[in-house]
Amino acid sequence: MNPLISVIIPVYNPGKYLQPCLSSIVNQTYKNLEIILIDDGSTDGSAALCDDYAAKDKRIKCIHQKNSGVSAARNRGLAEATGDFYSFPDSDDYLELDSYEYLLELVNEHQCDAINFEFFGTYKDHETTHLLGDDHYGLVDTKTAHRLVMNGEPFCWNKLYAAHLVQGLQFRKDILRGEDSLFAHQAIDRAKTVWFDKRPLYHYVQSEQSACRGTFRPSQLSALKLYDAYQPLYQEKYPEFWQPFLVGMADLLITLYYNMWSDKANYKKEQKALKAEYNRRYVEIDKTRLSKSKRIKFALFRSSANVFSVIHKLIHRL
């Protein structure tokens, strides 16, 4: 068995982080790779570096397009890919050099449709290791996989997917925060079994350029669309997950509001829209299932988002 792995990498101004990423892919111990680079209108020299790599390695296909967003780039990669398995690393992260060889060994051993693997949080001067509890690893069914992905493994990049899980799926171009997690859940929902592995293989580089770090962007409010996007899964198919989803979304909206408040920019319109959605969804949350601290947090934010932000800032200064 020598399956082809399609490695789809969207590239938009990753700067100095691109070379380590590409090096970690082309130097994998497993060689049967189809590497698809989608340059999404980079202006930092990344486009030329992609072309340089493609000229030296026949496994690489480099596509240049005008800036259309990470989802459009990944969708273009999906349209071009022909692999038996799919992987979606980000262009500012990198993998252990034996990652794909190791993952295929797990596929053969456990006969699973997908694999979720652990990762390192890679900072400038240190590195952390993300791990769930020991009882969260092993072969699980679809419902358990959803629960684990929701509660600590929400990324699309720390997974290997069999081709039939992603065929016909698209990343939502109209959602610019959490769209990768949505894709991961939609793909996992097609799997009969998923192997959760404890070994960290992926280096999640904590750079300011990341879409989920740095200053607030109004486009991040597209995360409000996640409520409707997840409804078929978590309110209809797996209703037991709807309450945990609502709690997670409440935390996300509070984070987004605090980021707007901290930026001290004129986001009054965006803050009003976010707060209105928060208040509407707040009444759906079963408060009896919340911890005392979570109940206080959610109630205080509902009462006054600005007062909550002041208190939050003071607490985290201590």
DSSP, res 58 = T
Query: Which CATH fold topology does 5-205 show?
Result: Spore Coat Polysaccharide Biosynthesis Protein SpsA; Chain A (3.90.550)
| 267, 218 Cβ separation under 8 angstroms | yes
| Residue-wise pLDDT tens digits, 25-58 | 999 999 999 999 999 999 999 999 999 999 999 9
Tell me the C-alpha distance between 158 and 142, whole Å.
Answer: 17
In terms of Cβ atoms closer than 10 Å to its own Cβ (0-12, 13-18, 19+), residue 78 is buried
Flag the least confident range among 99-103, 125-129, 214-218, 286-290.
214-218
Closest CA to 258 of 306, 222, 299: 306
- DSSP secondary structure, 4-42, as one string: -EEEEEEESS-GGGHHHHHHHHHT-S---EEEEEEE-S-
pLDDT at position 114 is 98
Q: Say yes or no to pLDDT of 215 above 90.
A: no
Residues of the chain with CATH 3.90.550.10: 5-205
Tell me the C-alpha distance between 178 and 175, whole Å.
Answer: 7
Tell me the C-alpha distance between 115 and 193, whole Å.
Answer: 9
pLDDT at position 216 is 85
DSSP, res 95 = E
Residue 215: phi and psi, rounded to 5, are -75, 160
Work out the pLDDT band at 211, boundaries 50, 70, 90.
very low
